[in-house]
Structure formats: C-alpha cells, structure tokens
Homo-oligomer: A and B are copies of this chain.
Amino acid sequence: MSSHKRNVYLKTIPIPEAVEKARTALDRDMLIRSVFVPVHEAAGRVLSEAVFARFSSPTFHSAAMDGYAVNAKTTFGAREGSPFELIEGRDCFAVNTGNPLPDGCDAVIMIENVTRAGDNAIAIEAPAFPWQHVRRIGEDIVATELLFPQNHRISPYDIGALLSAGIWDVYVWEPVRIAIIPTGDEVLDFTKRPTPKAGQVVESNSQVLAALARQHGCEVRRIPPVADKPEELQNAVSDCLASDAHIVIICAGSSAGSKDFTRSTMEAFGEVLVHGISAMPGKPSLLGVCKGKLVAGAPGYPVSAVVCFEELLAPLICWLGRQDHQARKTVPVELTRKAPSKLGVEEFLRLSVGKVDDKYVATPLARGAGCITSVSKAQALTRIPVQSEGLEQGGTVPAELMVPEAELDNILVCVGSHDNTLDILADELMGFTPPIRLTSSHVGSMGGILAIKSGSCHFAGAHLFDPDTGDYNFPFLQRYLPDAEITLVNLAIRHQGFIVPKGNPKGIRSIHDLADGSIRFLNRQRGAGTRILFDHHLRDAGINPTQVAGYDKEEFTHMAVAVNVLTGAADTGLGIYAAAKALGLDFVPLARERYDLIIPNRFMDTAGAQAVMRLLASPTFHARIEALGGYETTLTGRTMQPGTGLGD
C-alpha cells in the first residue's frame, strides 16, 4: 500500500482476559515494595503487614465523667430521700474526665448527682454500681491485639486507633509510580500555551490520565511530547524503564497505522501481551511487560484513552496496590433515545443522567472517541453488550454511575431547543446552596415537547412559531400534549437571522438571496424551531426548499452553524445573534421570536424549578442575557398565556 506500512492487529480479546494476562505476566512482589511511613501521614495508604497494638487504651481505669471516684461497695447504703455521706479523701475523690481512678475505687459518681455536705464531705441519694462512668483498661484497645490486617487501607479514624495504641510508623505499600509519554508529530505541548493551527492539537490526554491515576493514589511523571520517530520513542521509553516508575504509559500510536510505533517499541524492550480489546472506544489498546514493568499503549483519541485507563490500567493499579477494584454503582436508567451499536464489540456509551419523578432518565452523549466532553458531561456509562445491535428508546438499561448517586438528585434535566441563555442559566443555578446542575440536551423544540410527553425531563425549551395563529408554542402543545398540566414561562425574546462571515461577502440581505442556489446554506435538524421558522419564511417568500443549496445539510446547534460559517464550510445558516457575535461573525436579522420554558406543573414547587423562577425574575440575570446581544427580556420570567405572541 505504497508508503503505508501497516502493523497487524493481534486478535482483540475481552477486557477481563487482557487484565488477567497482565496480572499473570507481572511479578507484583518484585515490582511494588513496602515502605515505612509516619502514621499521621498515612491516611489512605495500604498496610503491607498486619499491625498489633503496643499499648492498651486506656492504659489505666479512668474517670469517664467529671465527679467523684468511689468504691461502689461503700455506697450501697445510699437511698433516695436519705442522703448518704462520703468523706473526701477517704470515701471519695474529686476527679475530672480522664483522670485515673485512685486505688481502691471502681466507680465514678457524676458531679450532677452529688450535693455538698460540709467542707470535706458530699452526699449522694443513690448507690453507685461497680464500673459506672469508668473507662476500664483496654476498653478501646488491648495491647498485642490485631489492630488492622495486611492490605487494610488506613482511614482517618484508624490514625486515632494507631496513635492511641502507640504505633508511630507503619509499613505500607509504596504508591504505584507512572511515567506518561505523550507522542505525535501533531501534538502541541500544553505547557507552552500554544495556539493550534490546522493539523495540530493540544496534547491533553497525558493530563487526563495523570489526574485519573492520582485519584487512584499514584505518583505521576509526564515526559514532554515525543515525535513520531521510532528512535525518539525508544529513548523515552528506555529512560522511563530505567526510572523508578512501575508503569509506563505511551499515549497515542497504539494502533496499526504507518506512524504507530508503540507496539514495535514495546517489542524492542519486552513482550506485547495484548494488542486490541473487544471494546469501543478503546479497541487499539496495548499492554506489555518490559523489564518487569507494565507498559501500556493508550489510544490517541481521548475517550479511547480514558477507556484504556479505566478498564485495563485501573484494575491493574488496584491489584498492584493490593486493593479491591470496586465496580461503579449501577442503577437502572431509562433511555431517552435509541442507541444503535455494532455487533461483535462491547460498546461504552456515556450518558447524561438525571432523576425525573422517581426514575433515572438517561440521554446518550456523543459517540465519537474524539469527544472528551462526552466524558466530562457524563454522569454514567452503559455497556452495550457484544451480541447487541443497540439499545431501544424508552428501554431500561443498567448504568454505571460516574458521580455520587446523591448528585443526581440535584440535576435539572432540560431537553429541547438550544439557546445560549441556557448556559447562563446553568452557570447561575450553580450559585445556589446546594448548587443545582443543569443538563441540557439539544434535540430541537419538538424534541423538547416529546420529552415532556414521555416524562423524561424537568422542563423543555421551545420557540415554535405557528404561522396560522401568530402564537408561539401553545398551538403545538395543544396538538401534542392536549391534556398536560404545564406552565409556560418566557426565557427571552431573541433575534434570528442569517449568520454570515465578517463583512457579509455574499451580500445576503433577505431570504430571497437563497432562491438561486448560489449561496451554500446550512440547515438545522428536523424538529428544530429554527428550521420551522426557516420553512415558514421560505413558504412566505414562495421559495421551494429544493432551490436552496445545502437545505439537506443539518447541524444541531446555533454555534455549530456559526462555526461552519466561520470556517467557510457554508456561506450562511439561520441562527441567533448571540452565536454570530460569539465568533465575530455578521448577522442579517430575519425575525424576533419567543423562547419559552415549558414546565410540567408537578415540578413547579421543586427546589430546581423554584430556583429557575427566582433567576428569571432577577435583574442581574436579565442583564447577563442582554449583554449577549440579540435578546430582549421584556417577557423574561413571565408566565405566558395562549394567544399573546410576542406581546408587542
């Protein structure tokens, strides 16, 4: 294949098999040593051997209360109503909490239960029973007993037990040390704060993996990026193998392309154990053992690299550190969209999850292995099994939580049309105590109405114009949700128009300029309010969609349309002013429209909806919307009634 020399994949194997191969090939006892550390710095560390108590705690019988120490036997004559006297220094002794019991004493009478009876005597009206209010020797810890077994992870509480038992230092497993080598001719070193040109990307995978590894207690060292040259990579790997690292991760170059040198480098220093796992993303992962150390080839796509770390390396790091690799908590979630999948491969699908009514609803996030935001936005992931062709909309699947389950209770799920003010809403909601997280899925206004219908969101954003009535949203709700008990609250009035390059080089002035097919237009997806608006204006202008070049090309957000215009991929597209302004583009106004939030009444009293209503009424929030440009806030926060249109 001309200059393309391609490696050949080893056969892909299931993830558990890959992990097991590495476990079998590594000599854990040789690789990870035991170190002696001070107890008060040992929280989170894992004991490499059992610890036995040196001291008992307490080391003496001690008063558990402020009061008087006595020998219980001497108090048996005390009765309610007939005070019984004890002489201080003979029958009883004042003690504070923590004081040792004087010889012969075996009980403490609380200060609250005595009365004075002269200068050196007290009186009581109830007998003491033996050992009352006394902490006995060894009550907490008995010298020589096992405090903690080997491989126990030391908790903050354990530090108290250890110090109380006279243990000042403990043997723990050393942290797993990882060296990470980013590679690639196209990657830019983020430490140099670069501005990428076409063909270049900012190297960031090393830092994602480093942060994940640190969460697992690892120590991480990053090597500056290495070019796609076999000798350079070999030198870097050789240095890392000679260092104190236990694991070397080579970022990118793990596949079978002409510039993928990870495998051959691994072979130069040791043995390749795994090349290819039957999972997607993450398939071109490599595992090998070189000079007794684990070497991993993480794929270059960020999501693939994350899968490689979490599925292969994390279990191995736990095993090296003698810790159980705990599966994420799994909850059943209902899918808001279908998710087709390839037969023969296990697919990881990231999900945006929220709790609506009493069920978890999950929206699949972008599938591309290149979308790191599909991971950073996810609350959970689900695995589509090898034998499955995909998941059905409305189906319930198990989802592994990537955030604490309690966090899902503070998520507001918004589905519907995309608008930049939702970002401001999201930001402001996080200022509440506790912070409220807004997740919004951009599926167009009609998608939002359908989500309300299926009960899979807390509210929907819509800007559906009905030409017959001149009204917004209500005619559509009456058609699709005739019986729903809902409230419509206006978020903003916004300006829609043609997003065009700076200076409007094609001189677009109105929709009529699109009629001759010379303008490369970019459309929004079916169901989007912006598309409906566009269709309405086309009809009004007597233009057939087939006349418009690019009518079939679809994007899902205003910003995506603007980006395409910015880069020249299209001459124009319909969108909001804020999107044009954000990218320094020009804007040819077409229409004003109402963007409303549709909130089912059953949610109106929830903390989330109340927070939204408070923000919509706040002048600060109005000011932030106005500052975006292309918005009017005259209706913002008002409850809408049918037939009011723009309220002009």
Interface set of A (CB-CB < 8 Å, partner B): 1-2, 4, 6, 39-40, 43, 50, 55-62, 64, 66, 94, 96-100, 111, 116, 130, 135-152, 155-164, 166, 168, 184, 186, 190-191, 193, 195-205, 207-212, 214-215, 255, 257-259, 300, 302, 306, 319, 322-327, 329, 366, 368, 370-376, 404-407, 410, 423-424, 426-431, 433-435, 437-438, 553, 557, 559-560, 562-564, 566-567, 569, 582-583
Do A208 and B583 touch across chains, with their CB atoms under 8 A apart? Answer: no
Residues of B contacting A201 in the complex (Cβ-Cβ under 8 angstroms) = 57-59, 98, 164
- CB distance A196 to B376 under 8 Å? no
* Contact A559–B144 (Cβ < 8 Å): yes
Majority SS of interface residues in chain A? Answer: loop
What are 14 A-B contacts defined by CB distance under 8 Å?
A: A4-B111, A39-B207, A43-B211, A58-B370, A59-B198, A66-B257, A96-B257, A96-B258, A98-B184, A137-B564, A138-B563, A146-B424, A156-B214, A324-B407
A40 B368 Cβ-Cβ under 8 A: no
**Complex Cα gap A135–B146 (Å):** 58
Query: Pick the contact of A211 from B156, B207, B429, B560 — CB < 8 Å?
Result: B156
A140 touching B373, Cβ below 8 Å: yes
Known: A190-B40, A199-B99. A142 touches B559 (CB 8 A): yes
- Residues of B contacting A56 in the complex (Cβ-Cβ under 8 angstroms): 563
Cβ B583 vs Cβ A143 within 8 A: yes
- Docked-complex contact A97 and B300, CB < 8 angstroms: yes
CA distance A376 to B148 in the complex (A): 10
Q: A157-B375, A190-B163, A433-B319 are in contact. Are A198 and B370 (CB under 8 A)?
A: no
Q: Please, which residues of chain B bring their CB within 8 A of the CB of A158?
A: 376
Once A164-B201, A372-B157 are accepted as A-B contacts, the answer to whether A152 and B430 lie under 8 Å apart by CB is yes
Q: Which residues of B contact A161 (CB under 8 A)?
A: 372-373, 376
Are A370 and B137 touching (Cβ within 8 A)? no
- In the bound complex, what is the Cα–Cα distance between A624 and B632 (angstroms)? 80
Residues of the B chain whose Cβ atoms lie less than 8 Å from the Cβ of A197: 59
Count this chain's copies in the assembly: 2
Once the chains bind, are B300 and A98 in contact (CB under 8 Å)? Answer: yes
- Shortest distance in angstroms between A98's beta carbon and chain B's nearest beta carbon? 5
Q: Are B204 and A43 in contact (CB under 8 A)?
A: no
Which residues of chain B come closer than 8 Å to A205, judged between CB atoms? 160
Could you tell me if B569 and A135 are in contact, using CB atoms closer than 8 angstroms?
no
- Is the beta-carbon distance between A160 and B207 smaller than 8 angstroms? yes
Q: How far is B303's CA from A161's CA once the two chains are assembled, in angstroms?
A: 11
A109 to chain B, nearest CB (A): 13
Complex contacts, A557 vs chain B, CB 8 Å? 142
Give bound CA distance, A488 to B329, whole Å: 36
Q: Distance in Å from the Cβ of A169 to the closest Cβ of chain B?
A: 9
- A43 contact from B143, B202, B215, B372, Cβ within 8 A: B215
Contacts of A39 in B (CB 8 A): 190, 207
Q: Which 6 A-B pairs have the closest CB atoms?
A: A156-B211, A146-B423, A163-B204, A324-B434, A144-B582, A43-B211
Residues from chain B with a CB closer than 8 A to the CB of A209 are: 156
In the complex, are the beta carbons of B427 and A149 less than 8 A apart?
yes
Task: Please report the C-alpha to C-alpha distance between residue A373 and residue B373 in the assembled complex, in whole angstroms.
Answer: 44
A151 in complex: contacting residue of B155, B186, B430, CB < 8 Å: B430
Residues of B within 8 A of A431 (CB): 150-151
A207 touches B372 (CB 8 A): no
B98 touches A160 (CB 8 A): no
B376 touches A326 (CB 8 A): no
Contact present for A96 and B259 (CB under 8 Å) = yes
Closest chain B CB from A71 CB (angstroms): 13
Tell me which residues across on chain B come within 8 A of A150, comparing CB atoms: 427, 430-431
